[in-house]
């Protein structure tokens, strides 16, 4: 069974802290994605990675960075957390092979920045 | 660029009634279309997808959707809903042929609230 896990379900951080959100997938997928989900805005793509050490900005990359040193792990970094980064963060992975094109999602991390 | 519009932010419905959740998309190229469901405090789960072939697509939990190219729509339907269908539903589009560069663009979601 496919599985995407995220390091924390709930996280509370202070303004200015450096925050790491971890995502691990066990499906040997090449592509991984980070989204944030806000009420009324749906899911917005922050960053994605085609493969190890490869990354590309999504629609809202400002204030975030990512790291992909191993195929199974994709980390989202908030260099200096701010209150407007309070949100639900969702990680997803996908194999570009075949015709499936669907993404598999983790359970999400609800981050509160105070 | 592609975009997805979900016209209804909330849809209240009684149990055992039929429901339709609307989705319209805009794209300059051919697309793949998806519906995802998010139950409370969970991640997204794929309900169904349209890649090619028959325009009527059947998914899990009794849901189905119809791709209408001329109206650029992909509405989700269920003939009889259950309390357990209460969730948020997201329509998404992926541009065809972009290979590893293809990304999903999501709509803003529709909250389906089923009551007795």
> Which of A19-33, B1-15, B27-41, B91-105 is predicted with the least confidence, judged by mean pLDDT?
B91-105
Domain ranges (residues) in chain B: 3-115
Q: Which of B34, B90, B99 sits opposite A42 (nearest CB)?
A: B90
When pLDDT is averaged across residues B86-105 and rounded to a whole number, the result is 80
**Looking at domain B3-115, does it have CATH number 2.60.40.10?**
yes
Summarize the confidence of residues B95-100 as an average pLDDT.
Answer: 60
B31 has pLDDT over 80? yes
Cβ contact (<8 Å) for B9 and A107? no
Instruction: Provide the pLDDT for residue B41.
Output: 83
- Indicate which of A61, A103, A107 best probes the interface with B, i.e. most B CBs within 10 Å of its own CB: A103
Check whether domain A15-97 has CATH 2.60.40.10, yes or no: yes
Q: Are A43 and B106 in contact (CB < 8 Å)?
A: yes
| A5-29 pLDDT, tens digit each | 999 999 999 999 999 999 999 988 8
* Residue A38 in tokens: 């806000």
Q: What is the pLDDT of residue B98?
A: 55
Specify the residue for token string 């059947």: B58
Q: What is the share, in percent, of chain A residues with pLDDT greater than 70?
A: 94
Residue closest to A24 by CA, chosen among A111, A104, A110, A113: A104
Cβ <8 Å between A102 and B34: yes
Residues in B touching A106 (Cβ below 8 Å): 43
Taking contacts as CB-CB distances below 8 angstroms, the residues of chain A near B41 are 107-108
Q: Are B67 and B74 in contact (CB under 8 A)?
A: yes
> Residue B102 is nearest to which of A40, A42, A101, comparing CB atoms?
A101
């Amino acid at each position: 069974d496919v599985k995407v896990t995220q390091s924390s379900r709930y996280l509370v951080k202070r303004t200015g802290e450096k925050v790491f959100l971890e995502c691990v997938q066990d499906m040997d997928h090449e592509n991984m994605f980070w989204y944030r989900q806000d009420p009324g805005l749906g899911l917005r793509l922050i960053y994605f990675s085609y493969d190890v050490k490869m990354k590309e900005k999504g629609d809202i990359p400002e204030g975030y960075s990512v790291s992909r040193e191993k195929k199974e792990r994709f980390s989202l970094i908030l260099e200096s957390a701010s209150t407007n980064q309070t949100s639900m963060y969702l990680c997803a992975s996908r194999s570009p092979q075949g015709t499936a094109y669907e993404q598999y999602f983790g359970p999400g991390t609800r981050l509160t920045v105070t | 660029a592609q975009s997805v519009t979900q016209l209804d932010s909330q849809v209240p419905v009684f149990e055992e009634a039929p429901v339709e959740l609307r989705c319209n998309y805009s794209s300059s190229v051919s697309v793949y279309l998806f519906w995802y469901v998010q139950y409370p405090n969970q991640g997204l789960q794929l309900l169904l997808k349209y890649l090619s072939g028959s325009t009527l697509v059947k998914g899990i939990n009794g849901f189905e959707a119809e791709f209408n190219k001329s109206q650029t729509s992909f509405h989700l339907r269920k003939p009889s809903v259950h309390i357990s269908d209460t969730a948020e539903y997201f329509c998404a589009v992926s541009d065809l042929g972009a290979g590893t560069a293809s990304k999903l663009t999501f709509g803003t979601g529709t909250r389906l609230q089923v009551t007795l």
